[in-house]
Amino acid sequence: MLILALASAPVWAQGGASLKSIPVVKPDLTPYVRDEKTLVALGKALFWDMQVSSDNRVACATCHFHAGADHRQQNQLTTTKDPVALNWALAPGDFPFGVNFMAAGHRAGSAGMYPREITSSTTDGKADEGNDLDGDAYPNIHGLNLRQVTRRNAPSVINSVYNYRNFWDGRASNTFSGWTMLGEGDPRANVLVDRAGALEAIKVRIEHAGLASQAVGPPLDAGEMSYRGRTWPMLGRKMLTAHPLARQRVAPDDSVLGPYVAGAEQGLAPQLTYESLIRAAFHEELWRSQELVAADGTSMGRQLRAPGGPGFFQEEYNFPLFFGLAIQAYETTLVSDDSPYDRLLDGKKDALNALELTGLSMFNLRACASCHVDPELTLATYRGVLGDKQYKALGPNAGFFQTGVEPNRNDEGLGGRDFSGAFKTPSLRNVEFTGPYFHTGSKSTLAQIVDFYTIGGDYGSGNLRRWGPDPFERQAMPAFMRTFSDDRVRFERAPFDHPELCVAIGHIEDDKGAARPKPAASHQADERWAGIPPVGAKGNSVPLQTFEELLLGVGKDGSRAHHLGDACRIE
């Protein structure tokens, strides 16, 4: 919002057709994929499966279960600098974060993994074996380790298919190397191909695959989903023989996975494994070899592996290629393009009420559309980078700006000389459900966002203009921003339906602030869990809870979905 330093850019303006008019850019996967429908099912299963993490408790969806984002409130504080209050339960009075609090580097992130180091990889989806990591470098209360928290707030994955680059700092390249997020910055030949019985390492460079690049980051991150020291071949060994979603229920009418659940009480059909789905989705030269390779992909000259022995098969080694492309295929289906605002853009004049239309006028008056450009409602898109018939291309940094949310020295963001503190402009679609807001998670309501911009940001960025408080704008502009919500997201209707999930919602402390140890895990603090029930294509009968409602306790009576009061039934 309010970016006024676009002298070299064309005028990207509000107006035009809805998001339905913008084509989804897809990579050419013909050299790798033979069944795209199975690829999407594989991606949805992997995205929601808690078995992907080392401890079998964290899925990709754990940070993206709520309108594609994360609205948990306890053990979500983290810091880039000064110590943070551990296991804090965020409350309405904590928001917006104060200037001194922000200067100290505090932000709301997402709880991930206990700090542990892997000692042995597993098979059949079993949890990895590992040892606890102790010391002041890891979050602990009275010697008991807590789940680590990410350094940035989780953005929504919904409509992320329009992003040219991913993560707040854009570090996930639009080019996928088959192994890392680095794109052309990854020089290795990462994928093994069976050429007439001999394995050959090839360089993979898949354009328009930024979602695949992003997807391969968290599974090996020692704070988010992995024990320290785990590798992709280790994860491949674990997952290939695993029963998909073995510990989680899937709705029989799930819009993607429904056809795969026949005869299963939980997970997919009993005869299915991730190996069988991968073999159905990908060309056989990517998985058919039974030659063992070392962790670096070099041949070990044999085909037999003793249980727990060294070496990896081709399909284990190629697992990051399968994982990244499958997650991208699933996330490509998560397009939210049927909001009241879309209907207004398509010419339905009564799509918005008087207050919402007033908010639209204010949104334009304050130049919010300079960054939140129609219809994607962000400039950090394929159109922003590459241009189209209407607009000039702005290059790979389109949509990245110094935001004034925190001191630049706290977090360099996109980085680079004279460009530190720059972050991607997020889409405002479904923004009423994706709080807390900004990469810092430092605002809890849409009104607080408006307040932030009326004063030109908490820290000078050179891009924001102070315009002074206007009480009516605190009502009208949030009302307008709620018109960006798609009812399919609000009620989790297809394609936004999903399997069951359990999420950690804080550690258990006594009245003196001492944590209780987890049974049979002397170095870990015990924790509380919330169940996220499975939902099928028809969605929920009640809407999602907003972050503001969570803080206020609205919806605990069952009038909101994801109120974090349901018990977790997964042991």
Residue 301 has a pLDDT of 86
Q: How far is CA 208 from CA 214, 222, 386, in A?
A: 12, 27, 12
Residue 236 has a pLDDT of 98
Cα 534–539–544 angle (5° rounding)? 85
Mean pLDDT per 10-residue interval, the chain, length 571 residues: 33 69 96 98 98 98 98 95 90 94 93 96 95 90 93 97 96 97 96 95 97 98 98 98 97 97 90 98 97 94 84 97 98 98 96 97 91 95 92 92 86 71 93 97 96 86 75 94 98 98 95 85 90 98 98 97 96 78
> Which tokens sit at 161?
């298919």
Q: Give tens-digit pLDDT for 179-234.
A: 999 999 999 999 999 999 999 999 999 999 999 999 999 999 999 999 999 999 99
Q: How far is CA 264 from CA 44, 244, 277, in A?
A: 17, 11, 16
**Distance of alpha carbon 17 from alpha carbon 337, whole angstroms:** 11
C-beta of residue 114 within 8 angstroms of C-beta of residue 145: yes
CA-atom Rg of the chain in angstroms: 23
C-beta of residue 48 within 8 angstroms of C-beta of residue 61: yes
Euclidean distance between the first and the last CA atom of the chain, given in angstroms as a whole number: 44
Chain CA centroid to CA 316, Å: 24
**Distance of alpha carbon 71 from alpha carbon 65, whole angstroms:** 9
Q: What beta strand segments (E) does 16-125 contain?
A: 77-79, 106-108, 116-120
Residue 303 has a pLDDT of 81
For the chain, how many helices (H) and strands (E)? Answer: 14, 14
**Distance of alpha carbon 327 from alpha carbon 181, whole angstroms:** 14
Q: Give tens-digit pLDDT for 550-569.
A: 999 999 999 999 999 999 99
Alpha helices in 309-442 (DSSP H): 314-317, 319-331, 340-345, 354-365, 382-386
Residue 9 has a pLDDT of 33
Cα 28–29–30 angle (5° rounding)? 100
**Distance of alpha carbon 331 from alpha carbon 102, whole angstroms:** 32
Q: How far is CA 325 from CA 10, 183, 216, in A?
A: 34, 14, 10
Going by C-beta distance under 8 Å and a sequence separation of 6 or more, which residues neighbour residue 124?
A: 238, 241, 242
Residue 6 has a pLDDT of 35
Alpha helices in 377-527 (DSSP H): 382-386, 446-454, 473-481, 487-490
Going by C-beta distance under 8 Å and a sequence separation of 6 or more, which residues neighbour residue 64?
A: 47, 70, 154, 156, 157
The structure tokens 């084509």 sit at: 23
**Distance of alpha carbon 66 from alpha carbon 58, whole angstroms:** 15
**Distance of alpha carbon 194 from alpha carbon 164, whole angstroms:** 32
Residue 2 has a pLDDT of 32
**Distance of alpha carbon 41 from alpha carbon 461, whole angstroms:** 43
**Distance of alpha carbon 379 from alpha carbon 517, whole angstroms:** 47
Q: How far is CA 203 from CA 190, 192, 329, in A?
A: 6, 9, 21
Residue type, 372: H
Residue 468 has a pLDDT of 77
Q: Within 13 A of 104's CA, how many CA atoms are on the CB side?
A: 13
Going by C-beta distance under 8 Å and a sequence separation of 6 or more, which residues neighbour residue 483?
A: 339, 340, 341, 344, 351, 352, 356
> Which tokens sit at 343?
């209907």
pTM over 0.85: yes
C-beta of residue 139 within 8 angstroms of C-beta of residue 166: no
> Which tokens sit at 216?
């391969």
Report the candidate in 351, 471, 429, 369 with the shortest Cα–Cα distance to residue 160. 429
Residue 5 has a pLDDT of 33
Secondary structure of residue 448 in the 3-state scheme = helix
Q: How far is CA 283 from CA 19, 25, 233, 303, in A?
A: 34, 22, 19, 21
